[in-house]
Structure 1
Amino acid sequence: MKKVSLGIKTLAQPSPVWLVGSYDQAGQPNLATIAWGGICCSKPPCVAISLRPATYTHDSIIQRGAFTVNVATEPFARQADFCGMASGRDGDKFAAAGLTAVKSDLIDAPYVEEFPLIVECRLQQTVEVGGHTQFIGEIVDVKADPAVLSESGVPDIEKVRPMIFTPVIRTYHGAGEYLGQAFSIGKEIG
């Protein structure tokens, strides 16, 4: 039995730190740091992100029908934090953060050149959930820097070094140490 009730809070932790790339109505690339997101389907491969309608990125995703998920990494913690505090309404967040916008050749959204892992998504559907809109994007490609790939050709978390976020207390952390192989270490139990 748990000893302390913490009440109704967004404490399902950790959350990813993702920078969502989109173009505004004028074609200006923009970034929004989000923590409400994750994989939501494997066939077809999809991710879900949630944004408040008041955000600048919200309408851009609807108008363009696309977005990128740029996995924030430990070396870019300050830039990720900045892009979550500043608004694209007030200026170019790519330039202010010293990041390079790259136009996707598959979807109508930019990605961050400096980030080692990018997910390009075509908007599949939106779902209104309380004060947020959940955007479900079908993954049309994943781009990775070769330096972060394992010998088998998939991203290695220790090379990617993704950031994670702790809701409510609002802290960033690295992903942590290796604990074991999924769908394997549990076999030791029975």
Structure 2
Amino acid sequence: MKKSLGPATLALPTPVWAVGSYDEEGRPNAMIAAWGGICCSQPPCLTVSVRPGRHTYAGIMRHKAFTVSVCPQALAAEADFLGLVSGRKTDKFAATGLTPVRGEHVNAPYIDEFPLVMECALIHSHDLGAHTLMVGEIKDVKCDADKLLDGKHPDPALVQPLVYAPGAGTYHGLGPMVAKGFHVGKAFMK
């Protein structure tokens, strides 16, 4: 029997994404966002939700651009720190030793040590209440060459993305591959 938990943000898992932007003074900044995902395939787009009071919000709105750097499991402490402090008061890159890299396609920095990066142009923003949904058109995807499965697709086993469990407040890794998508379900086709 299932127990009702009421309306809550308990979808499992959520990503651990470092959202990069330049602040209003042009300094690189990054925050961790767990509220995000792919939202369109043509044009390729993703969403992140950011509270308007966050330092990153003003930078995204000013520059109309952001990056998403996918955090690897090995850098969980650095990622957690990016979500603990504000870029208004702390140079997060100096504090963690992470390296900001200027995006090639948008005016926003990404994190060099994170193996998978998406450069996004802000194309929509929608106030939802506590958060503003930011829709970014993906202008480029960058992946460490040694983390590619076939030379063109990131391999989850090699990227080792960190994921977050809302409610429990815990970080996790992905387990082994379970099945091949768009294939395993064919057993039910007649």
Q: Name the TM-score class by shorter chain.
A: over 0.9
For the residues of structure 2 that align with 1:157 and 1:50, how far apart are their CA atoms?
A: 24
Shift of 1:97: 1.1
> Which residue pairs with 1:66 in the alignment?
65
For residues 113 and 178 of structure 1, the distance between their equivalents in structure 2, rounded to whole angstroms, comes to 27
TM-superposed deviation, 1:189: 2.4
Aligned mates of 1:150, 1:119 — CA distance in 2? 18
Task: Work out the CA distance in 1 between the residues paired with 2:160 and 2:144.
Answer: 13
1:185 aligns with 2:169: no
**Residue deviations 1:39-63, cap 9 Å, x none?**
0001110000001111100111000
Equivalent in the alignment of 2:34? 35
Which residue number in structure 1 is paired with residue 105 of structure 2? 106
RMSD: 0.9
- State the secondary structure of the residue aligned to 1:90: coil
> Any residues of structure 2 matched to 1:130-149 within 5 Å, and which?
130-149=129-148
Read off the aligned partner of 1:122 and give its amino acid letter. Answer: A
Rounded Cα–Cα distance in structure 1 between residues aligned with 2:42 and 2:168: 34
- Classify the secondary structure of the residue corresponding to 2:88: helix
Alignment-mate amino acid for residue 129 of structure 1? L
SS at 2:37 equivalent: strand
TM-score normalised by length of structure 1? 0.97
Tell me the alpha carbon deviations over residues 84-132 of structure 1, each in whole angstroms, 9 at most, x when there is no partner. 0110011210111110011112111001111110000000010111211
Q: Distance in 2 between matches of 1:184 and 1:83?
A: 38
4+ aligned runs moved over 4 Å, structure 1: none
1:74-89 pair list within 5 angstroms = 74-89=73-88
The 8 Å contact of residues 14 and 35 in structure 2, kept in 1 or not, is answered as yes
Mark the runs of 5 or more structure 1 residues left unpaired by the alignment.
none
Could you state the TM-score of these two structures normalised by the residue count of structure 2? 0.97
State the aligned residue count: 189
Structure 2 unpaired stretches of 5+: none
Mapped partners of 2:38, 2:23: distance in 1: 25
